[in-house]
Structure 1
Amino acid sequence: MVEMMENRTWAEIKIGDSASVTRTCRMEDVELFGVATGDLNPTHYNAEQAQSLAHHRKVMAHSLWTGSLLSAVLGNELPGAGTVYRSQSFDFQLPVEVGDTVTVFIIVTEKIEPTDVVFSCKAVNQNGAQVFTGIARVTAPTQKVIQPRTELHEVSLRRRHHVFEDIIERCAALDPISVAVCHPCDQVSLEGPIEAYKLGLINPILVGPEAKIRSLAAEFGFDLTGLRIIDTQHSHESAEKSVELCRTGQAEALMKGSLHTDEMMHEVASRATGLRTGRRISHVFVMDVPTYPKMLLISDAAINIYPTLEDKVDIAQNAIDLALCMGVVMPKVAILSAVETVYPKINSTIEAAALCKMADRGQITGAILDGPLAFDNAISAEAAKIKKINSPVAGQADILLVPDLEAGNMLAKQLSYLADADAAGIVLGARVPIVLTSRADSAKARLASCAVAVLFAHARRVAGKVAAQ
């Protein structure tokens, strides 16, 4: 049934008429009020600072949040639709803390021709203690209005993007690594490594037609001072020489430029002259999803199209190794499928169960694995609870291991375009980390991809020193 609103015209209002509204103050209310007004007073957002600065145990609501409830009762109830504020005074006696329930009362004390009304106002908390008193003067409507209540848009808070900033900041104390940049022959692929160089993340070695690179730099105002350039004739030669730099230890990472991914990865995968190891090469998306409380890794969404069970062992281990070097302690791996039970007709559920048992036997190490899990109960504790899933991973996954490239690619792009996620990417399993950038990547995502490669390369340095001892 549609709820209706009916206003009171100036002629209908009588001295003594009253109305009220009751509202419980939530942290979301305080934060939304702060976003709307720009008030950054820490007593409204941090309980410790509220206690030290204002001697209150809880976060305090903005005084005018409480006062703004008057606007609701005047605009919705008395006089209602068509009311225009003229003036308002407040005398605040008691602050409102998060969790308090406030009731605001108004009563008509005076009518001033032709259309003004004066109200006595007060608010009390759940204990009956007076929060404020005041006087409001409004211009009341003269036209009768009866209409359905307006449905406002739903508003929700989400955390700010911070994952990439944190990753880049972690690299500030680390030495830059040398990176072979393969064929940076357009604006985007040249700008990325130069920006990373300016931030002290990498020392790029630009591998491509030198004349073309210098022409681009002049056109877009990029400073190449101090950068090494290795001249090549075409993209295939760029791929060969870039891989050679990594294979011979002159570069600790490889970055894709403007050539096609397949062309570069063909050289990487060469058994004779490439960068293969005993482990399967795979891609990991590093996602900053504002609606998820922490960094999220997705693999494999770019290299292995239909991975076998054996492939998935390496894909999982690559992602786990990356999570560990990025500071995630005992990462939680959710092995995704369409359902959360083993179903013989869905092969990914059988492989998920096998991967979990392999982890139990030490064939996959460094993480907690569980699966099969559907996407909802992998990332939502509420969904897992509803489905009665008892799991150390459900609702708190750090890594999503997808069944195949199609599912992973669609998932990563859906998060980017529908959930405003940022995505960086890196390829692991080769002798060096490989940064795969896209023309659609933001500047921040390209820098984050470089930073991820830096963290991984430094982790391998440490591991190498430990192994040598």
Structure 2
Amino acid sequence: MKDSLLRNRTFDELEAGETASLARVALQNDIDLFAAISGDLHPAHLDAVFTSGDPFGHVVVHGMWTAALVSTLLATRLPGPGTIYLDQTLQFRHPVAAGDTITATATVREKRPDRRIVLLDTCCTNQAGDTVLLGTATVVAPATSVVWPAALRPEVAIRRHTRYEAFIREARVRPALHRAIVHPCTAEAIQAAVDARDEGLLDPILVGPEAKIRAAAEAANVSLAGIPIEAVEHSHAAAARAVAMGASGHVAALMKGSLHTDELLAAVVARGSGLRTERRISHVYAMDVPAYPKPLVVTDAVVNITPSLGHKRDICQNAIDLLHVLGVQLPRVAVLAAVETVNANMPTTLDAAALTVMAARGQITGALVDGPLAFDNAINFAAAKTKEIDSPVAGQADILLVPDLEAGNMLAKQLVYFAGADAAGLVLGARLPIIVTSRADSIRARLASAALAKLAAERGPRGPT
């Protein structure tokens, strides 16, 4: 095919006035890739909110992107394969916005026979005819004819982590809430608390052995100036004190430090704690998966090991309530199993079918619930269509309700390590939200966890008594 081959124009074949053009749309992927390769992270080149004189608030493409288009034209069209690029002058005349169609044109101006030197006038224009770049290229033209196969344009996946931005931004502008940081006796735990405070997401109170807390702060090289310390002897006492502070209204949320998760949660659900409700507590991973078009909640992958049908009802409702807080009015819940049909020999499919009926009968409220659904059918329209699944949830799930902790934990970690996802963690179902983070979490995920807790504490239900 003609379009699959690259042919050049030799020095002897070139004529003054000869011209060639190449047009390309400035895609967001191009902008992201150019920024990643060049290291140019200027907000004007990446952030559509940053205007910097652009009255339309467009992302302004770096001028060198258009220069690269000229280079491509010279290397592939005129003179084409075998060309040696010696020099290029550039004048950037007009900004280029994402979505603009840019046409690069090269015109032979002069030939110098002694070294096969060719000077070409180079120009780039946008779809409106505005000149965005002018210059002169100096090249060594090829001496012999060459025909090369055109390589396929590589498929490059751009990983964007933008799902958290809206609620982190919203949480920042609201007043910081008091949070008890429970037993923050490692550098990582102290740093997480300080980072969230500096972002305006929480007003921390450190609960634990004071000497260990100060040693951890020194190891993290952070100042504790202005941060109160509630001194207790050990981790058990820290959990009990933090729970009491939550029950009395002194703090609006808890954040796990360096103690074990089950140690903190045991204090939360203990009889007489003041934080326990009739609803089962459960964990949610609010995941930012670059390959998925919206936030995705996985529950429960941390707290409930082998939940009963009644527990799954509470786990489901907790996640639904959180998405209501985040502005999702009617979340879609996919109750996962290995298959999408009910099988009497697979108890998880029976639970999934029961949960679907419970939602239809008002025992689960505020969401569309359907199951059993296999993972592929839950998140991919094509997979659901292939299996002829007629479901209001299939292919567009907001919540993945997993069969048990092992399945959920493996799914969440596969999304993190294979799909590049971030996972913000939160425990729900108590009278206040509980932030549960891991040392392996990214800073973005830690901040998102704090932001989720802030919004949930302000807006969410306090739980049934």
- Band the TM-score falls in, shorter-chain normalisation: 0.7 to 0.9
Preserved contact between residue 270 and residue 276 of structure 1 (Cα < 8 Å): yes
Which residues in structure 2 correspond to 1:45-64 (within 5 Å)?
Answer: none
Name the counterpart of 1:208.
208
| Unmatched runs of 5 consecutive residues or more in structure 1 | none
Preserved contact between residue 168 and residue 447 of structure 1 (Cα < 8 Å): yes
Name the counterpart of 1:230.
230
1:246-272 alpha-carbon deviations (Å, 9 max, x no partner): 344433322211112222223333345
Name the counterpart of 1:196.
196
Preserved contact between residue 181 and residue 205 of structure 1 (Cα < 8 Å): yes
Preserved contact between residue 28 and residue 98 of structure 2 (Cα < 8 Å): no
Name the counterpart of 1:287.
287
Distance in 2 (alpha carbons) for counterparts of 1:425 and 1:207: 20
Distance in 1 (alpha carbons) for counterparts of 2:284 and 2:168: 17
1:419 offset after TM fit, Å?
Answer: 2.9
> SS of 1:254's equivalent?
strand
Residue 371 in structure 1 maps to residue 371 in structure 2: yes
Equivalent pairs counted in the alignment come to 456
Q: Relative to 1, partners in 2 of residues 1:74 and 1:363: Cα closer, same or farther, differing over 3 Å?
A: same
Which residues in structure 2 correspond to 1:65-464 (within 5 Å)?
Answer: 71-85=71-85, 86=87, 112-117=113-118, 138-142=139-143, 149-150=150-151, 153-159=154-160, 161-271=161-271, 273=273, 275-460=275-460
Q: Relative to 1, partners in 2 of residues 1:222 and 1:69: Cα closer, same or farther, differing over 3 Å?
A: closer
1:139 offset after TM fit, Å?
Answer: 1.0
In structure 1, give the amino acid aligned to 2:309: L
1:78 offset after TM fit, Å?
Answer: 4.9
Q: Relative to 1, partners in 2 of residues 1:311 and 1:98: Cα closer, same or farther, differing over 3 Å?
A: same
In structure 2, give the amino acid aligned to 1:235: S
Preserved contact between residue 19 and residue 73 of structure 1 (Cα < 8 Å): no
1:298-349 alpha-carbon deviations (Å, 9 max, x no partner): 1111111222222211110000111111222222222223333434444333
Preserved contact between residue 96 and residue 131 of structure 1 (Cα < 8 Å): no
In structure 1, give the amino acid aligned to 2:156: V
> SS of 1:217's equivalent?
helix
1:185 offset after TM fit, Å?
Answer: 1.0
Deviates more, 1:343-352 or 1:307-316: 343-352
TM-score (ref. length: structure 1): 0.77
Give the superposed CA RMSD.
4.6
In structure 2, give the amino acid aligned to 1:209: P
Distance in 1 (alpha carbons) for counterparts of 2:89 and 2:241: 74
Preserved contact between residue 299 and residue 408 of structure 1 (Cα < 8 Å): yes
Q: Relative to 1, partners in 2 of residues 1:169 and 1:115: Cα closer, same or farther, differing over 3 Å?
A: same
Distance in 2 (alpha carbons) for counterparts of 1:97 and 1:233: 58
| Unmatched runs of 5 consecutive residues or more in structure 2 | none
1:73 offset after TM fit, Å?
Answer: 4.6
TM-score (ref. length: structure 2): 0.78
Deviates more, 1:416-425 or 1:100-109: 100-109
Distance in 2 (alpha carbons) for counterparts of 1:256 and 1:352: 32
> SS of 1:330's equivalent?
coil
> SS of 2:229's equivalent?
strand
In structure 2, give the amino acid aligned to 1:394: A
> SS of 1:284's equivalent?
strand
Distance in 2 (alpha carbons) for counterparts of 1:245 and 1:131: 62
> SS of 2:164's equivalent?
helix
Q: Relative to 1, partners in 2 of residues 1:105 and 1:354: Cα closer, same or farther, differing over 3 Å?
A: farther
In structure 2, give the amino acid aligned to 1:441: D
Distance in 2 (alpha carbons) for counterparts of 1:33 and 1:448: 25
Deviates more, 1:215-224 or 1:312-321: 215-224
Distance in 2 (alpha carbons) for counterparts of 1:225 and 1:29: 44
